[in-house]
A = this chain, B = another copy of it.
Amino acid sequence: MESTVSHLKRCLPFWEKLTDAQQTLLTTRSGWVTYGRGETIHRGDEECVGLILVETGQLRVCMLSEDGREITLYRLYPGDVCVLSASCVLEAITFDVFVEAVEDTRMLNIPADSFRQVMEENIYAEAFSYKTATLRFSEVMWTMQQILFMGVDRRLAIFLLDEIARTGSDTLHLTHEQVARYMGTAREVVSRMLKYFASEGLVALSRGGIQVTDRKRLREMT
């Protein structure tokens, strides 16, 4: 477990540009929180939680439609900073997302009001926040390109390959419903495509798990 100061230093490249008072403010006001798998950390329609600095675990940031469909926009890993959870501080962000823990996740939270004060006083903090938001913009554009222009087969192949690369295991303990949510599509669509992949020998399906059996051919589909 890291100390508050060293985690702030690691995640905020503008740390050395802050005054002593600003560093003290962030250090004393920030708090460590842990969320369990599946728990919601931030919802657009509620009070904004402020900046989140991931220490361990994984978050996903999603958009939600009026009828409850969700699309995973991008994920955040240790060392990443979530700025969309501080949208009340960043006036250029006018949309809502929700942030959920994909696995047990420990994070440092800089409350919105403390971060607002530092951002108003320090142009480096502002530049960092908007640069980070722009990085997420780039990720969202990539996701959008996938959703709008790629076939489901290709997207599913990419998702499976990404997951086995990330987890280091050929077997993914995910339900079809979870895969569908991550991909921003319907469960039926995923189930049909997985069944097709299985019939092609690309994957083997079991209760609650998907085993990738032919990476090479999956990769050719991407």
Q: A interface vs B, CB < 8 Å?
A: 63, 65-67, 69, 71, 90, 92-95, 123-124, 126-127, 130-138, 140-142, 144-145, 147-149, 184
Given the known inter-chain contacts A63-B144, A147-B148, A148-B184, please indicate yes or no for A95 contacting B138, CB distance below 8 A: yes
On chain B, the residues within 8 Å of A127 by CB distance are 123, 126-127, 130
CA distance A93 to B95 in the complex (A): 19
On chain B, the residues within 8 Å of A148 by CB distance are 65, 69, 71, 147, 184
CA distance A132 to B90 in the complex (A): 12
Interchain CB contact under 8 A, B63 and A95: no
Interchain CB contact under 8 A, A137 and B184: no
The interface residues of chain A, by DSSP majority, are classed as helix
Residue of B at shortest CB range from A95?
Answer: B141
Interchain CB contact under 8 A, B140 and A140: yes
CA distance A90 to B132 in the complex (A): 12
CA distance A145 to B69 in the complex (A): 11
User: Of B92, B124, B184, which contacts A134 at CB under 8 A?
Assistant: B92
* Extra inter-chain contacts (16) besides given A63-B144, A93-B134, A94-B138, CB under 8 Å: A65-B145, A65-B148, A65-B149, A67-B149, A69-B148, A71-B148, A90-B134, A92-B134, A92-B138, A123-B127, A130-B133, A133-B134, A133-B137, A140-B140, A140-B144, A147-B148
From residue A145, how far is it (CB to closest CB) to chain B in Å?
A: 7
Interchain CB contact under 8 A, B137 and A93: yes
CA distance A12 to B218 in the complex (A): 48
